[in-house]
Structure 1
Amino acid sequence: MRFPRSGLRIGSRWGSRGLHWRAGAPRMWPKLPNAHFTAGAIIAGSLAFAAIAGEKDFIRLDTAQQGREITVDELQKHNNEEDGVWVCINGLVYDLTDFLPMHPGGAKIILHYAGKNASTIFNKFHAKDVFTKFLDPEKCLGPLVGDLEPAEDITASEEDEEREQLRGQLPKLSKVFNISDFEYLSKRILTPHAWAYYSSAADDEITLRENHYAFSRIFFNPKVLTDVSDVDISTEFLGVKSSAPFYCSAAAQARMGNEDGELSIARGCGNEGIIQMISSTASYSLGEIVEAARKNQPQWFQLYVNEDRDISYNTIKQCEKLGLKAIFVTVDTAMLGRREKDLKFRLFDDEDEVSSTESHADDPLMNFKDVRLTWEDIDKFKSMTKLPIVIKGVQRVQDVLLAIDHGVDAVVLSNHGGRQLDFSRAPVEVLADVMPVLKEKKLEEKIEVYIDGGIRRGTDVLKALCLGAKGVGLGRPFLYANSTYGEQGVTRAIQLLKRELLLDMKLLGVSKLSDLTPELLDLRSLHNRTAPPDMLYNAGYEPLAPPKFLNET
């Protein structure tokens, strides 16, 4: 369940009404095609609570049928921990008492909605299969009987309407000339909560900025007098064709910025033949996102490993059944980095309360974390599926070599967009160290190497490819494009990058990706870092003052 403690995660106004059940109303429990799992056990043949004809604003939840009819009076009596915490969502009543301590958004927001109809806020953020991941089936108590208006969405603000009006004043897509334009526009129309979640990074955000700035320290050595009349930017990733050497990397909760969320990202990628990596914490279910894609459109899945390994194993099996093409296991998040911009928007913070776990207690990803994740788990994943296994979040040469030893199909050099350990090196700098070692050991054909983080231009993509990367991923840029213009924005972002790539390759003097080599780069400044300004420190620093003349005050 995802009621962000930080209140984050607002980008569209759903205005969900929920379901109001009356005695004698028809009850329909249609079977869903996919099996779901919870707490390590598969819930085969899950059932969904169907909508009353005409209802459009509710999510059909993948929850097994349980129990008996619950009256409004009975629901309202269970509004505290002593009597039990019951919540109505889209016509079904759930017992969330035992879920309070594990809720990633904190217990207080659930307690706020105890004994109430929480459909509006739930539908604003959550995928329909969220409860099958975190709740035992018996916690679904049964359908609510009687009228109960949805409780007010406490994450909404008066400024939401103003931002929606500003959204209506967005410039024409033809006036968006580069990827950074989407970021600027998103900052204007997203709520502060949503913007903080999308844009924030760990601590002083040094790594966030370094990821991008590192590209600016690499220059080109372009060739001349070469035939560049026919340039080809198509490639293959893990044996799957792609129209360009970049992909849409996984990013959580796309529905904060656009109500179609990952669905419109899937469609935009499909329009341009780009691979979409689907997040474990997407705001739509995996099945829905796959269904939104074109037939045979390649998609990958990004896996956060749950401490209950059966959940992860069953997720991989589900990916196989749905036809996904690879599993990207995130390995850099044993704990979550401290993202202070995001923390400042938490809901229900006690003024004097300081929690030692606050850095990782307000993000849904903590439900997928396990500090015990090791290479043995990667070996297990490899043994149980024929899908390519990729590890995402590698940050040093030695771990790339270990990945090869363990038969991993690819690695993504990544520091999680600067959201984890601040002062982690930029992936493009790590790439410059990795590839010479692989070539020296004649291992470059043993594994595919990708990078993500800080990429905003076609020249950034080319620099990574020249250094030996198979391809690059972009996460935030597609969130911003989707938040502003939806499917069309994602399509436009891909087209802009493709156009830049085609032009830049011609100016560089190459016509195909295999021509991109380190000799085309000047790397002398890459490792000569200039410390970025410490904004937080500088804001409180008072410079030393020179002596004053007698007539000065």
Structure 2
Amino acid sequence: MSVIISPEEVAKHNKKDDVWLIIHGKVYDLTEFLPDHPGGQKIIMKYAGKDATKAFEPIHPPDIIQRFLSPKVCMGSVDLAKLSKVVVEETEEDKKVRLARENMPRLEEMYNSFDFETVARSVLKSDAWAYYSSGSDDEITMRENHSAFHRIWFRPRVMVNVKDVDTSTTMLGSRTSLPIYVTATALGKLGHPEGEVVLTKACKSRDIIQMIPTLASCSFDEIVTAAGPDQTQWLQLYVNSNREVSEKFVRHAESRGMKGLFITADAPQLGHREKDMRQKYIQEEPDEITRNSTAVVRDQGAARAISQFIDPSLCWDDIAWFKSITKMPILIKGIQTAEDAVLAARHGCKGVVLSNHGGRQLDFAPSAIEILAEVMEALKRENLDQGFEVYIDGGIRRGSDIFKAIALGATGVGIGRPFLYAMSSYGVEGVERLMGLFQDEFEMVMRFMGVTKIADIKPDMVDIRNIKDHFVSNPTDYLSKLAYEKMQPRHNSKL
């Protein structure tokens, strides 16, 4: 029988050598775990003796404590009747977000992916927006991911019967209504209380493939259970330094019906995502943990807090081991050169995802669309292109972007941030609406280009002569803009 503990009793355990937290109505003693928490001690101490559910929920799947900590850490259940009497005052940011949601445009007024991003910017809390929207360093690669599509021009054909257009295709043996998939993105609950399950439901209704992230806010089983009986899902894997953990996860995923294993290879460490880091740090006041530390490590944002386990020793030799533990097709996600795409094929992978992690890792890494043509050429030159599927992600915002990728050889494209923004603003209906907009835009471009099915889309339909031209805008010089320029006189000089 569970022990019932009052909030007053929990509140007594609020010191470094005696730390209790309330999470989802359960009381946990995290004293011994405190030094090992991947997100640092500071965030746990902030909620010591209090209900931490609100902070815990967007970052962690609900079963993470049961999976990784001893049952002994659970001290009992909190007295919910007394806990409900604790009044949490609305902060200024809470009020701002609430008013923004109350005044959102109608869903029918969303005409493209950028509309959803604009609304999300106003309705997301600052930490959620910082995490979702941040790129590495000066965010040049993040911007270039979309800008590169602007350097590809069409060669439309006319006088073709395009009355009936079929946008469906096959990806890794599964039929889908559109050559796109919802790519893996972490921390869905930062944007919506149901998290990644929202994306699952929308994928089910629109017949779109979903890639399930390792770092989801929902548990893996929650996401899979929400799917339909014939719905196709793939697994994105961050390889754990403890390979037994990865093996257990992969085998379980296969038993639950995953149709593809996408191993992320571009994150041997986390990129320098300053927007996320700065937002996380300014939320917290320095405490005795950081003040008294001789080696101060600032809290570096949601991304770093959840990714300490990723194995930086992952290498090509590990592919053989993964092939020994699963029959799922294995693809490498995060390929950024033609040479590595060729290596993936030679190591027996079924495909690759050309990706720079949404511009969140190495700034000045090339955009996926920029290297797609040379990757396809290299694979053909080595006779490795047959049965080897190439996907890209990063920067896809229009149906025309999808067409350009398919024309240059991609089997399909992954889309991440736009669906997060649609989910955060309008939930399942928002994601469905955006998927419908992509469908309509892609179908329209196919008609204008004179094709009626995916197989008819060819490289000679696009002009990529300028694809390697980089016109990169310089980062804003804030020292000049915010200091020097403000000091200049605003009146007209009469010389």
Is this a same-fold pair by TM over 0.5? Answer: yes
Q: Tell me which moved more, 370-379 or 280-289.
A: 370-379
Aligned to 2:214: 280
| Contact 2:204-2:228 at 8 Å conserved across structures | yes
Conserved? CA contact 1:335–1:360, under 8 Å: no
Contact 1:104 1:362 in 2 (8 A): no
| Equivalent position of 2:162 in the other structure | 228
What per-residue deviation string (whole Å, max 9, x for no partner) do you get for residues 118-174 of structure 1? Answer: 334434554211213442333334445797537989997323133223213222222
The AA in structure 1 aligned to 2:272 is R
CA distance in 1, matches of 2:115, 2:67: 37
Answer yes or no: is 1:503 the counterpart of 2:438: no
Judge conservation of contact 2:278–2:300 (CA < 8 Å) in 1.
no
- Are 2:272 and 2:361, in contact at CA under 8 Å, matched by a contact in 1? yes
Give the drift of 1:93. Answer: 2.6
Q: Which residue of 2 aligns with 1:386?
A: 327
CA deviations 1:405-431 (Å, max 9, x no partner) are 111111100000001111111110111
Flag the 1:178–1:509 CA change in 2: closer, same or farther, 3 A: same
Q: Are 2:62 and 2:219, in contact at CA under 8 Å, matched by a contact in 1?
A: yes
Q: Give 1:459's aligned amino acid.
A: S
| C-alpha contact (below 8 Å) 1:390/1:411 kept by paired residues | yes
Equivalent of 1:460, from 389, 392, 401? 401
Aligned residues: 480
Structure 1 residues 120 and 174: CA distance shift in structure 2, 3 A: closer
Aligned to 1:13: none
Counterpart of 1:419 (choices 360, 364, 371) is 360
Q: 2:351 aligns with which of 390, 404, 410?
A: 410
The 3 A distance-change label for structure 1 pair 104 and 539 is: farther
Q: Give 1:111's aligned residue.
A: 45
Letter in 2 for 1:326: G
- Cα contact 2:186–2:215 (8 A) shared by 1: yes
* 1:363 counterpart SS class: helix
> Does the 8 Å CA contact 1:392/1:411 hold for their aligned counterparts?
yes
Structure 1: tracts of 5 or more residues without a match? 1-25, 28-67, 544-550
Q: Distance in 2 between matches of 1:101 and 1:206?
A: 36
Q: CA deviation at 1:104?
A: 3.7
The alignment partner of 2:144 has SS state of helix
CA distance in 1, matches of 2:469, 2:78: 64
Tell me, what secondary structure is at the counterpart of 2:308?
A: helix
Map 1:63-462 onto structure 2 (within 5 A): 75-82=10-17, 84-123=18-57, 125-144=59-78, 149=83, 157-346=91-280, 347-350=283-286, 355=296, 359=300, 363-462=304-403
The Cα offsets for residues 356-403 of structure 1, whole Å up to 9 and x where unpaired, read as 675578634313311111223232111111111111111111111111
Aligned with 2:159: secondary structure?
coil
TM-score, normalised by the number of residues in structure 2: 0.90
Please say which of residues 276-285 and 350-359 is displaced more in the overlay. Answer: 350-359
Change in 2 beyond 3 A, CA 1:259/1:425: same
The match for 1:59 is none
How far the C-alpha of 1:350 sits from its partner, in A, is 3.0
| Change over 3 Å in CA distance of 1:152–1:387 after alignment to 2 | farther
Are the structure 2 counterparts of residues 76 and 147 from structure 1 closer, same or farther at C-alpha, using a change threshold of 3 Å? Answer: farther
What's 1:33 paired with?
A: none
> Displacement of 1:196 after TM fit?
1.0
Matching of residue 526 in structure 1 with residue 467 in structure 2: yes
Work out the CA distance in 2 between the residues paired with 1:423 and 1:101.
36
Query: Is the Cα contact below 8 Å between 1:332 and 1:420 reproduced in 2?
Result: yes
Output the CA distance in 2 between the equivalents of 1:213 and 1:159.
33
Higher fraction of helix: 2
SS of equivalent to 2:405: helix
3-state SS, counterpart of residue 241 of structure 1: strand
User: Could you list the runs of 5+ residues in structure 2 that have no partner in the other structure?
Assistant: 486-492
Residues 364-373 or 175-184, more deviating: 364-373
Cα pair 2:199 2:428 within 8 Å, conserved: yes
- Rounded to whole Å, the distance in 1 between the matches of 2:279 and 2:85 is 21
The equivalent of 2:489 in structure 1 is: none
- Secondary structure (helix, strand or coil) at the match of 1:305 reads coil
Q: How far apart are residue 74 of structure 1 and its match?
A: 5.9
State how far apart, in whole Å, the 1-side matches of 2:12 and 2:125 are.
35
| Structure 1 range deviating more: 196-205 or 379-388 | 379-388
How far the C-alpha of 1:541 sits from its partner, in A, is: 9.0
Q: Which amino acid aligns with 2:61?
A: A
Distance in 2 (alpha carbons) for counterparts of 1:530 and 1:120: 43
Distance (whole Å) between structure 1 residues aligned to residue 142 and residue 276 of structure 2: 14
**SS of equivalent to 2:175:** strand
Q: 1:374 to 1:156 in 2, by over 3 A?
A: farther
Are the equivalent residues in 1 in contact too, given 2:355–2:368 (CA < 8 A)?
yes
Paired with 2:8 and 2:107, the residues of 1 have a C-alpha distance of 51
Q: What percentage of aligned pairs have identical amino acids?
A: 44
**CA positional deviation for 1:337:** 0.7
Amino acid at match of 1:80: K
Contact 2:57 2:217 (C-alpha < 8 Å) held by counterparts: no
After alignment, is 343-352 or 166-175 more displaced? Answer: 343-352
Deviation at residue 90 of structure 1 after TM alignment: 3.1
1:287-313 Cα distance to aligned partner (Å, 9 max, x none): 111122222211111111111111111
Using the size of structure 1 for normalisation, the TM-score is: 0.81
